[in-house]
């Protein structure tokens, strides 16, 4: 199975796997040589990476704890909104999808747990049915991935149980409870990861 990654995917993977130093300068010329393309496509890629908070002002972006808290404030705002919508819109089939992702997260090895947890949050976001809000959320995917990896690898307590509780609130159609739970859940992810990162 040959991986045929786009230039963007290659650079993104290299950043997420830590192949660049924190705050390393991302000059077009250097990257063009490294990936054996011209500056033109590198520029496009850098724009995309800036969009998703991996690069800033020509450097690898190392957000401060304050930056991460602000990003999570935006994330929480959107996911909290999503819970409201999910309680209005989700039927048994959708709720079953959420439950299945919880089962998979319990059972699987780390990378499957990671994928299952991502599915859980993405499924919630899908309830919004708003491409602009979805894009704003997806823009944080790389950052969210880094946090998710940390909480799974470091085995944050109650991680998956909290997902189950959130599904419970959706089943009960308890908006206030759902909003509170998702807020607490994300806040724990944030503070737990900040401690280790």
Please name which of 5, 73, 12 lies closest in space to residue 46, comparing C-alpha atoms.
12
Residue 41 binds: one of its own copies, DNA, none (C-beta under 5 to 8 A by kind): DNA
> Which residues in the 14-33 window bind DNA by CB under 7 A?
25-30
Count of residues that interact with its own copies, criterion CB under 8 A: 14
Subset of 154-193 contacting its own copies (CB under 8 A)? none
Q: Which long-range contacts (CB under 8 A, 24 or more apart) does 8-13 make?
A: 8/44, 8/45, 8/48, 8/49, 10/35, 11/35, 11/45, 11/49, 12/49, 12/54, 12/142
* Region of 37-45, 95-103, 149-157, 179-187 interacting with DNA (CB under 7 A): 37-45
How far apart are the C-alpha atoms of 155 and 73, rounded to whole Å? 23
Q: How far is the CB of 190 from DNA (least distance, A)?
A: 31
Pairing state between β 55-56 and 59-60: antiparallel
Query: Residue 78: is it exposed, middle or buried by C-beta count within 10 angstroms (0-12/13-18/19+)?
Result: middle
Among 9, 44, 111, 172, binds DNA (CB under 7 A): 44
Stretch that binds its own copies, among 2-10, 22-30, 131-139, 163-171 (CB under 8 A): 131-139
- Choose, by CB under 8 A, the member of 9, 73, 153, 172 that binds its own copies: 73
Residues contributing to the site for DNA (CB under 7 A): 25-30, 37-41, 44, 58
């Amino acid at each position: 199975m040959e991986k045929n990654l786009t230039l963007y995917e290659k650079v993104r993977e290299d950043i997420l796997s830590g192949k660049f130093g924190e705050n390393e300068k991302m000059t077009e010329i250097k990257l063009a040589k490294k990936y054996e393309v011209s500056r033109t496509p590198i520029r496009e890629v850098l724009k995309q990476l800036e969009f998703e908070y991996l690069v800033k002002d020509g450097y690898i972006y190392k957000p401060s704890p304050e930056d991460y808290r602000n990003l999570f404030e935006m994330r929480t705002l959107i996911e909290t909104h999503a819970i409201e919508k999910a309680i209005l819109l989700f039927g048994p089939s959708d709720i079953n999808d959420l439950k299945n992702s919880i089962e998979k997260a319990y059972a699987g090895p780390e990378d499957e747990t990671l994928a299952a947890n991502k599915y859980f949050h993405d499924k919630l976001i899908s309830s919004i049915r708003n491409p602009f809000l979805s894009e704003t959320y997806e823009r944080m995917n790389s950052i969210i991935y880094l946090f998710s990896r940390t909480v799974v690898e470091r085995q944050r307590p109650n991680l998956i149980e909290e997902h189950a509780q959130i599904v419970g609130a959706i089943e009960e159609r308890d908006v206030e409870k759902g909003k509170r739970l998702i807020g607490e859940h994300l806040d724990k992810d944030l503070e737990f990861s900040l401690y280790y990162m």
